[in-house]
């Protein structure tokens, strides 16, 4: 599982694919083939945890490609990548902060998607900071798991 832990060690964000892309039969095209995953966000006050979320193969590739781009931008300039899942399940905003050489992460989770619509109409989110090394490990693990890594199949 790919995990981000903030500098203060009190926020933990995880994406854990339940199936690998290589084990998936592509139906029509990559935008119509979905991979289930566990999304988990643990904060000092709350825990969000679900295995009901999916991303298309195309979305997974897009996410990983752009997270890798964040790692390789010039360290002279700020850069932001905003990923919003096509199923409107969650949003991840990743900003490279050139002045401090840190990564700012914002995670927004659709509350209606977490509780079968019992509560709906809003997102809850958190912003936290990780260092470049932590972020790079997250991206590498996400890529590894999506293609050839451990899966729960």
**Positions in the chain short of pLDDT 50:** 148-153
Instruction: Give residue 120's Cα distance to chain centre.
Output: 21
Tokens 């360290």 belong to 75
Across 43-78, where does the E strand assignment appear? 47-56
Task: State pLDDT tens for residues 16-56.
Answer: 988 665 555 556 666 777 888 999 999 999 999 988 888 88
CA dist list (Å): 101 to 73, 89, 97, 130? 11, 29, 6, 10
Which phi-psi region, left, alpha or beta, contains residue 121 (left: φ > 0; alpha: ψ -120 to 50)? Answer: left
pLDDT at residue number 28 = 64
Residue with tokens 């060690």: 9
């Amino acid at each position: 599982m790919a995990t981000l832990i903030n500098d203060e060690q009190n926020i933990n964000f995880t994406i854990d694919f339940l199936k690998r892309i290589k084990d998936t039969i592509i139906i029509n095209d990559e935008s119509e083939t979905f991979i289930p995953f566990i999304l988990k966000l643990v904060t000092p006050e709350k825990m969000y945890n679900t295995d009901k979320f999916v991303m298309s193969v195309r979305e997974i590739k897009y996410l990983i490609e752009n997270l890798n781009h964040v790692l390789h931008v010039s360290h002279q300039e700020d850069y932001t990548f905003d990923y919003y899942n096509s199923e409107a399940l969650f949003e991840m905003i990743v900003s490279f902060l050139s002045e401090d050489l840190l990564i700012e992460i914002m995670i927004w989770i659709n509350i209606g998607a977490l509780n079968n619509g019992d509560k709906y109409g809003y997102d809850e989110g958190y912003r936290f900071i990780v260092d470049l090394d932590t972020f790079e490990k997250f991206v590498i693990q996400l890529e590894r798991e999506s293609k050839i890594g451990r899966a729960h199949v």
